[in-house]
Amino acid sequence: AQKVTQAQTEISVVEKEDVTLDCVYETRDTTYYLFWYKQPPSGELVFLIRRNSFDEQNEISGRYSWNFQKSTSSFNFTITASQVVDSAVYFCALSDEDYGGSQGNLIFGKGTKLSVKP
């Protein structure tokens, strides 16, 4: 069975601190996709990144970086120099793929609520 675990329920940091959000996943599929979404108080799920199971390169996008390690089934997300606008709930998610990549269900972790204080 597929499962995503985000062990940190809530994290509070002070602005400019670095913060890492942990994500551990379980799947028996050899082909799968991992995602991170941001959900601000307005409610919309904002796509941050999608990574397939064959690409273990770490990725950096501005202040955001992701560390994918298949050996530990982890896909951690780091925000460098956090800002108040980063305050949101962050979800890690896992998807299998059927029919050319569109039909897989998205299995979400329970989310980590990040509060960045000025």
Partner 1 sequence: DAMVIQNPRYQVTQFGKPVTLSCSQTLNHNVMYWYQQKSSQAPKLLFHYYDKDFNNEADTPDNFQSRRPNTSFCFLDIRSPGLGDTAMYLCATSRAGERFFGQGTRLTVV
Residues forming contacts to partner 1 in the complex (CB under 8 A) are 33, 35, 37, 42-47, 50, 52, 91, 95, 97, 99-106, 108-111
| Nearest CB to partner 1, comparing residues 99 and 118 | 99
What whole-number distance in Å separates Cα of residue 88 and Cα of residue 111?
10
| Nearest CB to partner 1, comparing residues 1 and 118 | 1
Least distance to partner 1 from the beta carbon of 41, Å?
Answer: 11
Least distance to partner 1 from the beta carbon of 84, Å?
Answer: 21
| Nearest CB to partner 1, comparing residues 56 and 98 | 98
| Nearest CB to partner 1, comparing residues 53 and 76 | 53
What whole-number distance in Å separates Cα of residue 25 and Cα of residue 48?
18
> Could you say which DSSP state residue 105 is in?
-
What whole-number distance in Å separates Cα of residue 70 and Cα of residue 74?
6
What whole-number distance in Å separates Cα of residue 78 and Cα of residue 34?
15
Do 94 and 107 form a contact (C-beta atoms < 8 A)?
Answer: yes
Least distance to partner 1 from the beta carbon of 60, Å?
Answer: 20
What whole-number distance in Å separates Cα of residue 63 and Cα of residue 52?
21
Least distance to partner 1 from the beta carbon of 108, Å?
Answer: 4
